[in-house]
Amino acid sequence: MKKILVLCTGNSCRSQIAEGYLRHFAEDKAEVYSAGVETHGVNPRAVKTMQEDDIDISKHTSNNMDEYRDIDFDFVITVCDNAKERCPFFPSKAQKFHHNFPDPAKATGSEEEIMAQFRNVRNEIKEYCRNFVSTNL
């Protein structure tokens, strides 16, 4: 079984959404983890936008990348430029992938406008994860 780590800055939105979709699409072909270079807690809007797509990430936790140093990952996916720049050296055979998704936590405007930005990012991440699984697992 493949091991996948998704890294982001705060492990609150993008990496949490990616973890949810990678688990969904990979089913039993991979163990999926997510972490941040910092921990900001799981964003309630990320939970809500994923519930709209019938994926429950409400039990996810916000983890620091240091918690996973001893796991031999097959893939490390960074989902923001900050995490890519600060990504630690993992002494493993992990293939590294990168895609800089916009940060929905920085969205401004009305609640409806903010949620629209969360949905847009969620949809981008969903397609990325679907393609990643079909190509790599």
Q: pLDDT (tens digit, 9 = 90+) per residue, 12-30? A: 999 999 999 999 999 999 9
> pLDDT digit string (tens) for 55-97?
999 999 999 988 998 899 999 999 987 766 666 555 568 899 9
pTM of the model: 0.94
Residue 37: the pLDDT is 85
Distance (Å, rounded) from C-alpha 58 to C-alpha 42? 8
Which of 80, 105, 121, 125 is an active site residue? 80
Which of 4, 8, 32, 57 is an active site residue? 8
Contacts of 38 (CB under 8 A, 6+ apart): 9, 10, 11, 64
Q: Check residue 59 and report its DSSP letter.
A: T
Distance (Å, rounded) from C-alpha 90 to C-alpha 98? 15
129 is catalytic: no
Residue 83: the pLDDT is 65
- Put the strands of the sheet holding 2-8 in their side by side order: 30-36, 2-8, 75-78, 95-98
87 is catalytic: yes
Which of 38, 48, 86, 87 is an active site residue? 87
Distance (Å, rounded) from C-alpha 25 to C-alpha 18? 10
8 is catalytic: yes
Distance (Å, rounded) from C-alpha 55 to C-alpha 97? 24
State percent of the chain over pLDDT 90.
82
Indicate the CATH number for domain 2-136: 3.40.50.2300
